Amino acid sequence: DIQMTQSPSTLSASVGDRVTITCRASQNIVNHLNWYQQKPGKAPKLLIYSASSLQSGVPLRFSGGGSGADFTLTINILQPEDFATYYCQQNYSKFPYTFGHGTKLENK
């Protein structure tokens, strides 16, 4: 299985900040990397796919980058509704698709 490692596991930030979450794959996954946001009691929401493509309807303050094994999710000008848990996920190999353990973005 491809292992996905996110850092940090918890991130404290304030409204208006710029934050970056990193995700490292255990092997080269080219650009087959997706990012999801999940709020308590809700299903995950797709933010970014193919490493850097913004899903329809997602605010432009979200951006993704990277390739190979190292990826980032950046949120510019953090908004109150952005405090949530973020997961990366690889779809390079479906045996199985795997997720990172999540990064909880909390209000400082």
Partner 1 sequence: QVQLVQSGAEVKKPGSSVRVSCKASGGTVNNYAISWVRQVPGQGLEWMGEIIPVFHTTNHAQKFQGRVTITVDESTNTSHMELSSLRFEDAAVYYCARDLPRSPGGGVFDVWGQGTKVTVSA
- CB nearer partner 1, residue 17 or residue 93: 93
The answer to whether 40 and 30 are in contact (CB under 8 A) is: no
Q: Does 44 bind partner 1 (CB under 8 A)?
A: yes
- Residue 43 binds partner 1, judged by CB under 8 A: yes
Q: How far apart are CA 35 and CA 37, in angstroms?
A: 7
Beta-carbon count within 10 A of 58 CB? 16
Nearer Cβ to partner 1, position 66 or 100?
100
Beta carbon nearer to partner 1, 80 or 96: 96
